[in-house]
Structure 1
Amino acid sequence: MAVGAVDAAVAQAARYAGDRAWNRLTVDSSGRNCKGLARLARAALDGKDWLHDRIGDLVSFLLEWLSTPRVVRVFGKEVAKRIPLPWDQQLVAVSRGMQIAGIAVCMINGRKLTKCECFIDVVVEEGKERVRQLMDWAAKDWRNLEQLVPAA
Structure 2
Amino acid sequence: MDGKDWLHGRIGDLAGFLLDLIGTPRVVRMFGKEIAKRIPLPWDQQLVAVSRGMQIAGIVVCVINGRDLAKCECFVDVVVNEGKERVRQLMEWAAKDWRNLEQLVPAA
TM-score by shorter chain over 0.5: yes
The structural deviation recorded for 1:109 is 2.3
Structure 1 runs not aligned, ≥5 long: 1-44, 131-152
Which residue number in structure 2 is paired with residue 47 of structure 1?
Answer: 3
Cα separation, 1, equivalents of 2:37 and 2:31: 10
The structural deviation recorded for 1:61 is 1.0
Cα separation, 1, equivalents of 2:58 and 2:78: 11
Which residue number in structure 2 is paired with residue 111 of structure 1?
Answer: 67
The structural deviation recorded for 1:46 is 1.5
Cα separation, 2, equivalents of 1:56 and 1:115: 35
Within a 5 Å distance, the mapping from 1:51-62 to structure 2 comes to 51-62=7-18
Which residue number in structure 1 is paired with residue 29 of structure 2?
Answer: 73
What's the secondary structure of 1:84's corresponding residue? coil
Which residue number in structure 2 is paired with residue 99 of structure 1?
Answer: 55
Cα separation, 1, equivalents of 2:35 and 2:60: 38
Give percent identity, aligned residues only.
81
Cα separation, 2, equivalents of 1:113 and 1:95: 18
What's the secondary structure of 2:40's corresponding residue? coil
Cα separation, 1, equivalents of 2:10 and 2:63: 38
What's the secondary structure of 1:94's corresponding residue? helix
What's the secondary structure of 2:67's corresponding residue? coil
What's the secondary structure of 1:96's corresponding residue? helix
Structure 2 runs not aligned, ≥5 long: 87-108
How many residue pairs match? The answer is 84
Q: Which amino acid aligns with 1:59?
A: A
Which residue number in structure 2 is paired with residue 24 of structure 1?
Answer: none
Q: Which amino acid aligns with 1:76?
A: G
The structural deviation recorded for 1:98 is 0.6
The structural deviation recorded for 1:68 is 1.2
Q: Which amino acid aligns with 1:48?
A: K
Hey, which bits of structure 1, 4+ residues long, moved more than 6 A?
none
Structure having greater relative contact order (Cα 8 Å, sep ≥ 6):
1
